[in-house]
Amino acid sequence: QVYELDAAAISAPTAQTNAATSVQATTARVNGQVSDDGGEACEYRFRYKKSGGAYSYTTWTGAKTTGQTFYEDLSGLDKKSLYYFNAQAKNSAGESAWGGELSFTTLATIPVVSTQTTDSVDCEAATSHGTITDTGGENCDFRGFVWDTASHGDPGNTTPASTAYGSNWTESGSFGAVAFSHGISGLPSGQIYYIRACAHNSAGWSYGGEVNFTTVGESSYNTMVGSPTSWTWQKADYEAAEKCPIGSPTSWAWEAPTCKGADKTPQGSPTSFNWGSE
């Protein structure tokens, strides 16, 4: 009499989902484990989705047995976003149920900032301009400018007060990818300045390229410069010790000019001039 031994029956496996690791701004590793292989080595896969989105599926791969772990490296993820994922296994008897759902949140990156041309420049003030072109995945909590009379390299991920730039201005809030500006005053005349825009989020500080401007150092017109008894017809230096006739055609004094004064002074040439604003 011949006896036949039945091969052990193969059953569908079970799988569990393990916590994600190596989570970065656009990449993450999702992990799983074969809890029971059902009597046969298993392939595995994952499904994952951004919160509110549809599932994406990795391809079936591998040959894992009971107790063995497995993983898949995901890429192309959105910055600072919540994702959900599950692990699954299968053998010749079928697919396991999805393992429990877990989640992870990708990281933000430092923002990207550009510095635009400074305008409204006069002898003591200017208006600086910048734009947050990429928030890094979340709104910025600070933005501002740093400036100095000397040029400096990109400060990197450091606070404005810690940079080599001698002056800074920041404001706090919740800022998206938008343009912003700031009026700087109290500057000496005829001085070159170097300036950068900056912004901050949870990943750190970032600075735009450096631009420069020069405050107005002398009048754009010729006028009487010197003293009531000894003068020449030339451009006047603002904030200098030289003086000009300032006031009106019928009531004036010999004073130092200002670049934004409401007073008037002779403008033109010794033989053809008008009494114009400073």
Q: DSSP assignment of 125-183, as one string?
A: -EEEEEEEEE-SSS-EEEEEEEEESS------SS-GGGSS-SEEEEEEEEE-S-EEEEE
Fold of 112-214: Immunoglobulin-like (2.60.40)
Give the separation between CA 265 and CA 273, rounded to whole angstroms: 10
Specify whether the CB–CB gap between 189 and 235 falls below 8 A.
no
pLDDT of residue 1: 59
Within 8 A by CB and 6+ apart from 129, the residues are 115, 116, 117, 118, 119, 179, 180, 181, 197
In a structure prediction context, what are the per-residue pLDDT tens digits for the chain, which is 278 residues long? 554 545 569 999 999 999 999 999 999 999 999 999 999 999 999 999 999 999 999 999 999 999 999 999 999 999 999 999 999 999 999 999 999 999 999 999 999 999 999 999 998 999 999 999 999 999 999 999 999 999 999 999 999 999 999 999 999 999 999 999 999 999 998 999 999 999 999 999 999 999 999 998 877 788 888 888 888 998 887 766 788 898 888 888 988 887 766 778 888 888 888 877 77
Location of structure tokens 């008008």: 274
Report the amino acid identity of residue 244: C
**Which pTM does this prediction carry?**
0.78
Location of structure tokens 């910025």: 140
Fold of 14-105: Immunoglobulin-like (2.60.40)
Q: Which of 78, 70, 80 is nearest to 21 (CA)?
A: 70
Specify whether the CB–CB gap between 89 and 99 falls below 8 A.
no
Bridge-partner residues for 21, per DSSP? 29
Phi–psi pair at 215, nearest 5 degrees: -65, 155
pLDDT of residue 237: 79
pLDDT of residue 176: 98
Q: Where are the domains of the chain?
A: 14-105, 112-214, 219-277
Give the separation between CA 130 and CA 175, rounded to whole angstroms: 12
